[in-house]
Amino acid sequence: MRYALIFIIIISLNACSSTNQAEKNLMLENEKVTDFALVIHGGAGTILKENMTPELEKQYHAKLREALLAGYNVLQSGGSSVDAVEAAIIPMEDSPLFNAGKGAVFTNEERNELDASFMDGATQNAGAIGGVRRVKNPIKAARAVLEKSKHVMLTGAGADAFAREQGIELVDTSYFYTERRWEALQNVKAKEGETFILSEDDDYKYGTVGAAALDKNGNLAAGTSTGGMTNKRYGRIGDSPIIGAGTYANNATCAVSSTGHGEYFMRYMVAYDISARMEYAGATLEEAAGTVINEKLVEKGGSGGVIAVDKYGNVAMPFNTAGMYRGYVKADGEVKTFLYK
């Protein structure tokens, strides 16, 4: 009788254990709020409605929508998060509206130098390029470094040469010239004189485009592309091509792309910090991103924002500037775009 009782207790315990595990599995399944998601940004800075014409505002919304739909079509058809990130960034690189690709700002030497990075959350592999001058779509070159080289970052003429070897389209440097960016450089030079010191209120340090995606297989990816800082000198490279600062992706937590004053994002490893708070402190995406951007970064004097998506399809878009070009789309296909606070 005693053995029978023990046997019944063991069976009951096993049954309870199985039930508890089933409940946990169900809870985990329920946590996933969407099959896939994509979030993008087109830079943060002094983006105010009073400074925007209705026509220009429409152009920004339209281009953000185009970028989101390009990535959505990839994800909806079962494509990878890596493909979706590239698809979303290319329309923004091809537009003079953003400080990336065609719309890149000018350096002090009056030329365009482009940076980009890419990270695959499934493999933790990453690729980046810095200071390239002829790559039409820098995000393609960053992805090529990720997938087709043994390195993480290539810069300058070597990165241009690598892109050529990979069959990535190169253009004449004149392709990147836009009157708007040229005038911006002249204005900054006139303000600074010989000091190379500008007020923290000046908008010379903002720009960048980026995307982060979750695909139907649960894989995350993120990418960032920029023309850098207006009037930058000495081969300066900012946070955009720095893994952990401008871009980060980890299937266990989230995918992040940053925009803002790059020096601060590099010092405090903003993109990785968000992931680390989720992984080690159990913070939600919203909590982690909000704390880093609106508390930690502000305390240190840094400005900018991030876009991010977690492994459940939740998105976050915090920024501490006047505005940030941004938007997202999930499995329901509803595209949302924003410019201001």
- Averaged in consecutive runs of 10 residues, what is the pLDDT profile of the chain (341 residues)? 44 45 41 86 92 94 98 98 98 97 96 98 98 98 98 97 98 97 92 57 67 98 96 94 98 98 96 98 98 97 97 98 97 97 87
pLDDT of residue 20: 46
pLDDT of residue 34: 85
- Catalytic one of 208, 230, 247, 253: 208
pLDDT of residue 196: 52
**112 Rama class: left (phi>0) / alpha (psi -120 to 50) / beta:** beta
pLDDT of residue 203: 52
pLDDT of residue 221: 99
Alpha carbon 116 to chain centroid, angstroms: 10
Closest CA relative to residue 262, chosen from 189, 339, 210 = 210
Residues in CB range of 41: below 8 A, 6 or more apart: 208, 209, 210, 211, 257, 259, 305, 306, 307, 317, 324, 325, 326
Closest CA relative to residue 137, chosen from 94, 181, 84 = 94
Question: What is the reported pTM?
Answer: 0.89
Closest CA relative to residue 331, chosen from 109, 33, 21 = 33
Alpha carbon 172 to chain centroid, angstroms: 27
* 224 flagged as catalytic: no
pLDDT of residue 199: 43
pLDDT of residue 208: 92
